[in-house]
Amino acid sequence: MAVAIMTAIGFLAKRHNLPRETRADGKEVIASIKAAFLPLLTPIIIIGGILSGFFTPTEAAVIASLYALFLGFLYKDISLKDLPGSSGSPSSRPSACCLLFLPPAFSAGSRFIRRSRIRSFSP
């Protein structure tokens, strides 16, 4: 699909005589790879963690959001002053505090069930 879109854009750009950008030299390519490396690790962390069995898709979403928050601090897009205002309405704060305890509880519960070899009750 991406190749088809690139081909269509190429034909339209040629038809309408759109200006071309100069090709990036080696230094620009290396600089852009360095700048994009950490954000591009996000899907690798998510898919790798799920496929390796290290965490579930729900836990992968939490890991991805925490990693995005870490990158926000690293690139100085987010500061500690921005965090309290980003939590939404005041009524969502107690719910968010309670939700912080759910993933570790589910994880510990699932490990307990696996270790105790409790069978499924489905028919």
What is this structure's pTM?
0.56
29/108: higher pLDDT: 29
* b/e 76-97 (16+ beta carbons within 10 angstroms → b): eebeeeeeeeeeeeeeeeeeee
At 46-92, the pLDDT tens digits run: 999 999 999 999 999 999 999 999 999 998 888 888 777 666 666 66
